[in-house]
Structure 1
Amino acid sequence: MPSPSDILTDPEIAQAYEDVRSDKSETNWLVLKYASTSSDNLTLAATGHGPITEMTQSLADDEAAYAYIRMRLGNDEYSERVKFAFVVWQGPQTKVMRKAKMSFQSGQVKQVIRAYAVEIQTGDRKDLEADAVTLMLRKAMGANYDRQGSSY
């Protein structure tokens, strides 16, 4: 059984993870992809500091990938919090064997990407739209003072 260090050999991965976690860095997302269709090794494919739509553009329909996102949430400037989402991407045309391997390998990736409020397993870009991710993160935070969806 390969260890996380076996599949996550790219030294840039740890640095990118720290950048996304750091309030001092503008980087707010990263994407990890497999080095090739036959490889189990992951490489840092992209990082960015733009909106989540920029990140989703780097995810192809025929590939598997992992992403990590930092988002700021709050009802006002006094209650703003930073929350993180871990994404397991399986594009709709991802090969069956890759999907099967990912069920095991995602556990190894989580040993490196450890701190997140929600995990999103999807092959649908709609699940990665800013509003959808924000809603998941708000639910994970517990108290939600928005009036949307409530019956007063």
Structure 2
Amino acid sequence: MAAKLFGGDVSEAKRFYEEVRSNDLDTQWVTYRYEGNTLELGGNGENLDDLFSKTEENFNDNDRVYAYVRFETGDEMSRRAKFAFITWIGPAVSVLKKGKVSTDKAFVKQVFVEFGKEFLCDTRSELSQSKMLKDLEKASGAAYGTGR
């Protein structure tokens, strides 16, 4: 079932997942969106602003999107990568398609297996880069230094 979601080949999704997780590569995010009943690559990039500043492009009102995102957190004493799994269900998505998202998400999580926080968003205001970063920082534990 999971293979069907990624067009019969989960290897591309796993490759992008590993790129986002890699400390040696610049990829910061990847999205997958439904084309019919199949998940297709929506996009990927090296700049979080490209993902969050273009919400209408990346998270359309008619779309269902899964995103895996790398955030840098910490302060001058300790920088670390934290990962978020975002599920977007646009406000114009039908009830039947909304229901399918929760079922399919279990299969998507078999590819995007490690993340610090999961976000379920259905309004644009929830797609806030700064809010997500703050939530990840809270979940990361103790903070040292001045916060810069």
TM range (shorter): 0.7 to 0.9
Bigger drift between 19-28 and 81-90 goes to: 19-28
Show structure 2 runs of 5+ residues with no match: none
Asked whether the equivalents of residues 30 and 69 of structure 1 are also in contact (C-alpha less than 8 Å), the reply is yes
Greater CA drift, 84-93 or 55-64: 55-64
TM-score w.r.t. the length of structure 1 is 0.84
Contact 2:75–2:146 (8 Å) recurs in 1: no
Distance change in 2, residues 1:83/1:97 (3 Å): same
Are residue 30 (structure 1) and residue 27 (structure 2) matched? no
Question: Equivalent of 1:42, from 39, 42, 47?
Answer: 39
Instruction: Tell me how far apart the structure 2 counterparts of residues 12 and 45 of structure 1 sit (CA, whole Å).
Output: 12
**3-state secondary structure, aligned to 1:61:** coil
Aligned Cα root-mean-square deviation (Å): 2.0
| Alpha-carbon distance, 1:94 to partner | 1.0
Pairwise CA distance, 1:55: 6.1
Moved over 6 A (4+): none
Percentage of pairs with the same residue: 32
Give per-residue Cα distances to partners, 1:108-147, cap 9 Å, x unaligned. Answer: 1001100100000011222222211111101211224699
Cα distance in 1, alignment partners of residues 28 and 67 from structure 2 = 11
- Please give the alpha-carbon distance, in whole angstroms, between the structure 2 residues aligned to 1:27 and 1:63: 23
